[in-house]
């Protein structure tokens, strides 16, 4: 069994928060009110809460990355794991999920490379001590290593991510490592292909992934350019890893995209994705499919079922950097606003209606997010290259998120 490779609309673009705060306005598309609706729109590092009632359209944005499964909402956020010394900038990361109702945070991913580098540095420099949060390091540290993680998408309890580590030691070539994967947010464990699909489908997917790697290498060998030669050199040491993959959703259909994890001084900064493979729909996908769009030539469309009978439409500008969101009843259309792309998915809040406990928890999360400063970051890619030493708060204070969560 070999799976087809459907086109993928979006890559792994770095996205800036499009908007924060609340905005109310009157619909101007028609003298008739828009369909009554309520939903969340998720981009790579922001979430927008949109409500229509009568002639009013209310849009509220916040730098949140949310997941929903088992009837509950969770926030995902990063925390720096700072293990720096006076002459070494060493900052790893941890990823947490926070239950919006209870406020409890649980570790679901921890970088292991930067902590290992820190242990090796300490062993090679007896007598040095890690910096405290109040201490500043050297202006230009001789050793620098930083880790970062970018969300690809969230599919129910499954977080697809891309993880990067960059290291620079004075007098040596810089070193990079990149890999991708899927985390089961319920357990905090890495999800395998066999955990997501039946045994027969999983075996076929892995075989197809190996085939895609060989096809990619064969294609590069036909390219005489210098980038292609460098890519072949990097791939010559690479091995197919069935654990390195992400889930994608081309045209409302779940797909698997393997990549080639690479590390070394000549490794590229980005992952090398293989063609996406579209397997038969797994059973767990039926409850999530409505959250993902059906793609057209220049728009994405989410069909809404129920008495309201409206669709949500995202139209992309010529640069594909902005999407204009609107509601339509298939006869008229009402503008909602614009967000930065990519638009990942929707969470419907009206059919079925979200309960009062989850609604209050969502409102509290949006209120808290409005207080975030410029240092606050949700699960996204800021790709901090090795630079001069900067001061970080302790990992306990969640410097990439907010310092008021419980662990």
Q: Taking residues 330-334, what's their average pLDDT?
A: 87
Residue with the two structure tokens 């509220």: 60
Residues with Cβ within 8 Å of residue 166, at least 6 apart in sequence: 144, 145, 146, 174, 175, 176, 269, 383, 384, 385, 386
Using one digit for the tens of pLDDT, what is the confidence trace for 151-208?
A: 999 999 999 999 999 999 999 999 988 889 999 999 999 999 999 999 999 999 999 9
Q: Taking residues 290-303, what's their average pLDDT?
A: 86
Q: Is 301 helix (H, G, I), strand (E, B) or coil?
A: strand
Q: Taking residues 33-55, what's their average pLDDT?
A: 90
Give yes or no for residue 314 having a pLDDT over 80: yes
- Give pLDDT, residue 133: 85
How would you write 316-359 as a 3-class SS string?
Answer: ECCCCCEEEEEEECCCCEEEEEEEECCEEEEEECECCECCHHHH
Identify any residues that bridge with 303 across adjacent strands, giving them in sequence order: 311
- Give pLDDT, residue 25: 53
% of the chain at pLDDT higher than 90: 52
- Give pLDDT, residue 268: 67
% of the chain at pLDDT higher than 70: 79
Whole-number Å distance between alpha carbons of 33 and 134: 56
Which helix (H) or strand (E) segment holds residue 262: the answer is: strand 262-264
Residue 163 and residue 250 in contact, taking contact as beta carbons nearer than 8 Å: no
Q: Is 318 helix (H, G, I), strand (E, B) or coil?
A: coil
User: Got the DSSP string for 80-136?
Assistant: EEE--BTTEEEEEEEEEEEETTT-BEEEEEE--HHHHHHHHHHHHSTT--PPPTT--
Give yes or no for residue 251 having a pLDDT over 80: no
The residue with greater pLDDT, 120 or 238, is 120
- Give pLDDT, residue 381: 38
Strands 47-53 and 56-62: antiparallel
Residues with Cβ within 8 Å of residue 403, at least 6 apart in sequence: 393, 397
Return the minimum-mean-pLDDT range out of 22-31, 40-49, 200-209, 257-266. 22-31
If you compute the radius of gyration of the chain from its CA atoms, what whole number of angstroms results?
22
Strands 311-316 and 322-328: antiparallel
Whole-number Å distance between alpha carbons of 174 and 332: 56
Residue 178's nearest CA partner among 152, 212, 214, 209 is 152
Whole-number Å distance between alpha carbons of 274 and 50: 35
- Give pLDDT, residue 330: 81
- Give pLDDT, residue 324: 93
Residue 221 and residue 286 in contact, taking contact as beta carbons nearer than 8 Å: no
What's the mean pLDDT when you consider all of the chain? 81
Give yes or no for residue 315 having a pLDDT over 80: yes
Question: Would you tell me the crossing angle of helices 226-235 and 199-221 to the nearest 10 degrees?
Answer: 140
- Give pLDDT, residue 76: 95
Whole-number Å distance between alpha carbons of 334 and 30: 7
Residue 150's nearest CA partner among 276, 19, 43 is 43
Whole-number Å distance between alpha carbons of 246 and 372: 29
Identify any residues that bridge with 182 across adjacent strands, giving them in sequence order: 160
Residue 376's nearest CA partner among 398, 394, 395 is 398
- Give pLDDT, residue 234: 67
- Give pLDDT, residue 144: 96
Give yes or no for residue 402 having a pLDDT over 60: no
Whole-number Å distance between alpha carbons of 181 and 247: 9
Q: Taking residues 49-57, what's their average pLDDT?
A: 89
- Give pLDDT, residue 372: 66
Residue 200 phi/psi, 5-degree rounding, is -65, -45
- Give pLDDT, residue 119: 97
Give yes or no for residue 2 having a pLDDT over 60: no
Q: Is 320 helix (H, G, I), strand (E, B) or coil?
A: coil
Strands 72-82 and 56-62: unpaired
Return the minimum-mean-pLDDT range out of 30-44, 67-81, 277-291. 30-44
Task: Provide the Cα torsion 198, 202, 203, 206; round to 10°.
Answer: 180
Whole-number Å distance between alpha carbons of 308 and 286: 21
The residue with greater pLDDT, 270 or 89, is 89
11: how many CB neighbours lie within 10 A of its CB?
Answer: 10
Whole-number Å distance between alpha carbons of 175 and 310: 50
Return the minimum-mean-pLDDT range out of 115-129, 339-353, 367-381. 367-381
Task: Provide the Cα torsion 259, 263, 265, 269; round to 10°.
Answer: 40
């Amino acid at each position: 069994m070999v799976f087809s490779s459907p086109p993928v609309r979006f890559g792994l673009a770095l996205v800036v928060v499009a908007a924060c705060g609340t905005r109310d306005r009157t619909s101007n598309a028609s003298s008739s009110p828009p369909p009554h609706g309520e939903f969340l729109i998720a981009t790579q590092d922001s979430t927008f809460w949109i409500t229509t009632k009568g002639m009013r359209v209310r849009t509220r944005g916040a730098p949140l990355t949310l997941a929903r499964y088992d009837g509950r909402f969770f926030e995902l956020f990063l925390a720096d794991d700072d293990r720096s010394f006076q002459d070494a900038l060493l900052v790893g990361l941890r990823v947490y999920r926070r239950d919006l109702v209870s406020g409890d945070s649980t570790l679901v991913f921890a970088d292991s490379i930067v902590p290992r580098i820190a242990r090796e540095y300490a062993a090679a420099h007896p007598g040095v001590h890690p910096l405290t949060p109040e201490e500043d390091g050297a202006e230009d540290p001789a050793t620098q290593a930083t880790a970062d993680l970018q969300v690809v998408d969230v599919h129910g309890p499954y977080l697809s991510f891309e993880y990067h580590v960059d290291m620079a030691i004075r007098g040596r070539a810089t070193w990079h490592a990149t890999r991708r994967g899927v985390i089961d947010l319920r357990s905090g464990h890495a999800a395998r292909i066999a955990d997501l699909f039946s045994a027969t489908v999983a075996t076929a997917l892995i075989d197809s992934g190996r085939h895609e790697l060989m096809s990619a290498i064969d294609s590069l060998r036909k390219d005489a350019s210098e980038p292609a030669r460098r890519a072949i050199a990097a791939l010559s040491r690479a091995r197919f890893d069935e654990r390195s993959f992400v889930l994608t959703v081309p045209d409302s259909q779940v797909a698997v995209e393997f990549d080639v994890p690479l590390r070394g001084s000549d490794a590229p900064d980005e992952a090398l994705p293989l063609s996406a493979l579209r397997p038969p729909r797994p059973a767990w996908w039926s409850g999530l499919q409505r959250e993902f769009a059906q793609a057209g030539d220049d728009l994405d469309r989410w069909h809404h079922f129920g008495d309201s009978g409206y669709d949500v439409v995202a139209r992309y500008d010529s640069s594909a950097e902005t999407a204009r969101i609107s509601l339509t009843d298939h006869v008229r259309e009402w503008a909602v606003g614009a967000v930065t792309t990519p638009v990942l998915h929707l969470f419907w809040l009206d059919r079925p209606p979200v309960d009062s406990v989850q609604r209050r928890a969502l409102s509290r999360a949006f209120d808290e997010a409005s207080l975030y400063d410029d240092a606050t970051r949700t699960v996204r890619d800021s790709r901090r290259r090795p630079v001069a030493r900067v001061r970080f708060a302790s990992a306990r204070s969640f410097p990439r998120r907010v310092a008021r969560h419980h662990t």
